[in-house]
Copies of this chain bind each other. A is one copy, B any other.
Amino acid sequence: MTEVRRPTLRDIASALGLSVNTVSRALGDKDSVSARTRAAVQAEAARIGYVPNTLARSLVLGSAMTLGLVITNPSNPFYAQLISSIELRVRAQGYSLLLLVTDESAENEQRATEALLRSAVDGAVVVPVQAEWDHWRRVRDSGIPLVFVNRDVPELDCDMVGVDYERGSYEATSHLIAGGARKLLLLEEDLPITTTADRITGFRRAMSDAGLTVSDDQVRAVPTKRYDSLALPWQPEEAYRFAQSLDLPDGIVTGNDYFALGLLRVLAERGLAVPDDVAITGYGDHPYAAYLQPPLTTVRLPAAEVGTTAVDLLLQRLKSATERPRKTLIRPELVVRASTLSPARL
């Protein structure tokens, strides 16, 4: 492999006996360059394979045309879809995307903010760890707009796009109650994040609206291994172990599909029928949910819509920093399948 010096504007200029400036305009501006010159420049550029140096361009323009994406865990299917939709939109708008993975670690997040500052991104889409936020204030204060996604940092008053987790949970719970369940259980993640808290709220509200009371042992957190995005932060395994020692009710709402998966095994082992003995709902509508035995009723998350909206908000914010921050919650959709469809109960 030979060490190659990349062609610059100067190479084109000297080959054609023009000034660097003229070449620059010929390649960029609409007018202020004769058609002949422009054609000659473009021909020469193509011939030697000229590619503009974004670094130099960014330095003078003060913008790198780069956005940051700070995300906790790509192995979570919801976030994977988010990455795809965000990358798609960002690229369509002519920006590049810098990816930073935090693994639910505040320390990693802190380092990520430093990287964002150094790289001088024009803005960032952030799934915050929600443990600390002073470093985010620093980013915002240095003029880099942020859009929080999926979880908010209300202290900072930035744009935010999320999912109405409370509503999803409310609907799943109400659906179970409508199906005849009375003794309900909520199995949640033990992460200190608002998504989890919102689902708990939704569960409680649905119970309350149905005239049912909720005792403390009806809302349970499944112990979770953390800080390892090479695996998922939650596993069917953990829910399986946890549920083995559980006094099972007639309806279970879970905070994610993986929990439902572990649960299904426990129920099978105990010889309980789903949904006739116990009806269950998942959360996330992962690709396998429809193909479980029985197919899983679950809450479908609008990942692509969330991602796209986040990028659009960010780009708008880049144009006008003055508008007030907007908080958007996108409504998830309850997908009813056989794990809750118990004709016997209706």
State which of A29-37, A134-142, A329-337 sits at the interface with chain B. A134-142
- The answer, among B4, B59, B262, for a CB contact under 8 Å with A55, is B59
Distance A83 CA – B76 CA, assembled complex (angstroms): 12
Q: How large is the interface on A (under 10, 10 to 19, 20 to 34, 35 or more residues)?
A: 35 or more
Chain B nearest CB from A124 CB (Å) reads 13
Taking CB atoms and an 8 Å cut-off, the chain A residues in 270-289 that contact chain B are 286-288
A 159-185 to B, binary, CB cutoff 8 A, 1 in contact else 0? 000000000000000000000000000
A98 interface contact, C-beta 8 A: yes
A 102-114 to B, binary, CB cutoff 8 A, 1 in contact else 0? 0100000001001
State which of A200-208, A209-217, A227-235 sits at the interface with chain B. A227-235
Distance A88 CA – B77 CA, assembled complex (angstroms): 19
Q: A88-B101, A142-B49 are in contact. Are A287 and B268 (CB under 8 A)?
A: no
Distance A8 CA – B240 CA, assembled complex (angstroms): 55
List residues of chain B with CB within 8 A of the CB of A4. 141-143
A 234-259 to B, binary, CB cutoff 8 A, 1 in contact else 0? 01110010000000000000000010
A345 interface contact, C-beta 8 A: no
- Pick from A4, A49, A115, A287 the residue with the most CB of B within 10 Å: A287
List residues of chain B with CB within 8 A of the CB of A51. 114, 117-118, 142
Chain B nearest CB from A153 CB (Å) reads 15
List residues of chain B with CB within 8 A of the CB of A91. 100-101, 111, 115
A288 and chain B: residue at smallest CB distance: B288
- Pick from A49, A59, A232, A321 the residue with the most CB of B within 10 Å: A59
Chain B nearest CB from A231 CB (Å) reads 8
A268 and chain B: residue at smallest CB distance: B293
A261 interface contact, C-beta 8 A: yes
A224 interface contact, C-beta 8 A: no
Distance A240 CA – B293 CA, assembled complex (angstroms): 14
- The answer, among B54, B98, B303, for a CB contact under 8 Å with A120, is B54
Instruction: Provide 22 A-B residue pairs closer than 8 Å at the C-beta atoms, listed in order of the A residue.
Output: A1-B321, A4-B141, A6-B142, A49-B142, A51-B114, A51-B117, A54-B119, A55-B59, A74-B74, A74-B84, A80-B80, A83-B99, A83-B101, A84-B229, A85-B230, A87-B100, A88-B229, A88-B230, A230-B304, A258-B288, A292-B292, A292-B293
